[in-house]
A and B are shown apart, each in its own frame.
Chain A
Amino acid sequence: GAVVSQHPSRVICKSGTSVKIECRSLDFQATTMFWYRQFPKQSLMLMATSNEGSKATYEQGVEKDKFLINHASLTLSTLTVTSAHPEDSSFYICSAPGRGWADTQYFGPGTRLTVL
């Protein structure tokens, strides 16, 4: 099956620093990738849709200037959490769809971000 990698798996940073998370489709091309966030005991919540070669679309309530998304190639999308604060501490996970937008999603293993 299709494989999506995500790096880093865990990051601890100081408040005010920026953190970049990479999401790669290893054996297929992904013109679209999705970024989710999960707070403790809550469900995965869609943050934004990353589109190769164009601007990402953000869900309501997600600050686009804080969560910068770049999808510069068909196999790589990055999420940068700028000027991270403790409330940004969360689990971030990406996915890429199969053949169609409602088809199986292939997920990365996720990134645990802790902001001190």
Chain B
Amino acid sequence: ILNVEQSPQSLHVQEGDSTNFTCSFPSSNFYALHWYRWETAKSPEALFVMTLNGDEKKKGRISATLNTKEGYSYLYIKGSQPEDSATYLCAFIGNTGKLIFGQGTTLQVKP
């Protein structure tokens, strides 16, 4: 059974704090890793698609790194803002082509 784990499950930070979450996934048969941002009552929105070991991607204050050999990815948010409050999902894609999601990390940023 392929397992994708995210930690922490939830996180409360103050506005301006920087934060990071972890996504752990199988290190074999890796094809891609996705990060999504999911606000309440909205559709999950793609942040990053990562495919190469050592990949680092950035979108504004959010960045992500990828280590396929050890099976983890980090998502970083610099200077958190209240509008960053959401659930952040990672999804592993192996050679089956199917997305296997973690449970998500719910971030609450207090003004």
Residues of A within 8 A of B (CB): 4, 34, 36, 41-46, 49, 93, 95, 101-110
Contacts and interface: CB of A to CB of B under 8 A. Distances in A.
Contact of A46 (B4, B31, B44, B99): B99
Nearest to B94: A102
B99 A34 contact: yes
26 contacts: A34-B99, A42-B103, A43-B89, A43-B102, A44-B89, A44-B91, A44-B99, A45-B101, A46-B99, A49-B98, A102-B49, A102-B97, A103-B49, A104-B34, A104-B49, A105-B36, A105-B44, A105-B46, A105-B91, A106-B43, A106-B46, A107-B36, A107-B44, A108-B43, A109-B41, A109-B43
Contacts of B101: 36, 43-45
B109 interface: no
Contact of B42 (A34, A42, A109): A109
Contacts of A101: 97
Interface string B43-66: 111100100000000000000000
A102 B31 contact: yes
B53 to A, nearest CB: 16
Given A49-B98, A107-B43, 15 more contacts: A4-B43, A42-B103, A43-B4, A44-B91, A44-B99, A44-B101, A102-B31, A104-B49, A105-B36, A105-B44, A105-B91, A107-B36, A107-B45, A109-B41, A109-B43
